[in-house]
Amino acid sequence: MDMLSDVVAFMRCGRPTSARISRRAPWGVSFRAAPGSAGFQVVLRGSCWLLRPDGEPVPLSVGDVVFLPHGEPFGLADDPARPLAESDCDPHSELFASAAFGGAGAETVILSCGYRLDLDRTHPILGSLPGVIHLPSTLGSHPELRAAVELLAAEIDNPRPGTDTVVSSLLEMLQLYVLRAYIETQDEPCTLSGWAAALADPGVGRALDAIHRDPTRRWTVESLGAHAGMSRAGFARRFTGLVGQPPLAYLTWWRLMSGARMLRESDASVAEVAERVGYGSEFAFGNAFKREFGVAPGRYRRQVAAV
């Protein structure tokens, strides 16, 4: 898998949820903090305001997408001065749902989507994201994102045979498109920082993609640097500065995270997992795994199964 697809699949756990919510003015609703969750709010009809405890109100219009990667508290209202009633909806109740609330005024329709995240195995790219990512609707911008939103809304409005699979797939696409759009809409690469800069950097981005596409390869700093089109020393400095750890340290970490996922989600033996993530022996994999997770692979699998 490529870098971004790998990261999205790695972070998420459980089943995504979505709902098409119609609200008529006057209305205002607040949502509690939800650690271990990430969510989207997409305006399908009308307009409203995004309200945050530590920021100015943000006007939202049709087609605007708001991504909250850390489950921070927020509010939505037809007017920024409107008192907010706390939402009593369970954000993780259904794969797809529809509901209507509010008075008799102007209607706003919002597509609300949520994901559960395993905070013990989140990729560092998630921590590098701001608390709120607002992608305004601009004519001609991010056509794939707009198409995914329209398809998702249509499936929720009119469920048919196969809708469960379609909605789950579209929610995964939506998360990828939002992350891609966020990276593409930042300022010039020289002003970026952290993982956004790493993914936008041509050389480091190619090296990260190579690691994720072929983690079992016997990569060296020299071979990764050659893949990035950079000298060994220059590549090592730039990779470490942007990613926060040296190239081979990241490679080792990703192999172990991938191995842990295989232990959780497959019946492969520890020896098979070791081979699939690039270790020459079960013993070497076991030692590295225990340094990272504090337990041997077999015990880790049993602990996860018991939860």
What is the topology classification, in CATH, of domain 249-306?
Arc Repressor Mutant, subunit A (1.10.10)
Q: Output the pLDDT for position 93.
A: 55
Q: Output the pLDDT for position 264.
A: 87
Q: Output the pLDDT for position 190.
A: 44
Q: Output the pLDDT for position 299.
A: 94
Contact indicator for 36, 119 with CB cutoff of 8 Å:
yes
Closest CA to 17 of 126, 110, 116: 116
Token pair, residue 60, equals: 């939202």
Q: Output the pLDDT for position 300.
A: 93
Q: Virtual CA dihedral for 98, 47, 152, 70, nearest 10 degrees? A: -90
- Which of 2.60.120.280, 1.10.1060.10, 1.10.1200.10, 3.20.20.220 is the CATH number of 3-184? 2.60.120.280
Q: Pick out the chain residues at pLDDT < 50.
A: 188-191
Question: Residue written as tokens 């195995």?
Answer: 121
What's the one-letter identity of residue 131? G
Residue spans per domain, the chain: 3-184, 189-244, 249-306
pTM, full prediction: 0.78
Q: Output the pLDDT for position 248.
A: 96
Question: Residue written as tokens 């696409």?
Answer: 173
Residue range 277-290, pLDDT digits in tens: 999 999 999 999 99
Q: In whole angstroms, what separates CA 301 from the centre of its chain?
A: 25
Closest CA to 62 of 133, 137, 171: 137
Q: Output the pLDDT for position 139.
A: 55
Q: How far apart are CA 30 and CA 271, in angstroms?
A: 49
Beta strands in the chain (DSSP E): 12-24, 28-31, 37-45, 48-51, 58-60, 65-68, 74-77, 85-86, 97-102, 107-117, 133-135
Q: How far apart are CA 195 and CA 103, in angstroms?
A: 44
The secondary element (H helix, E strand) that includes residue 167 is: helix 163-184
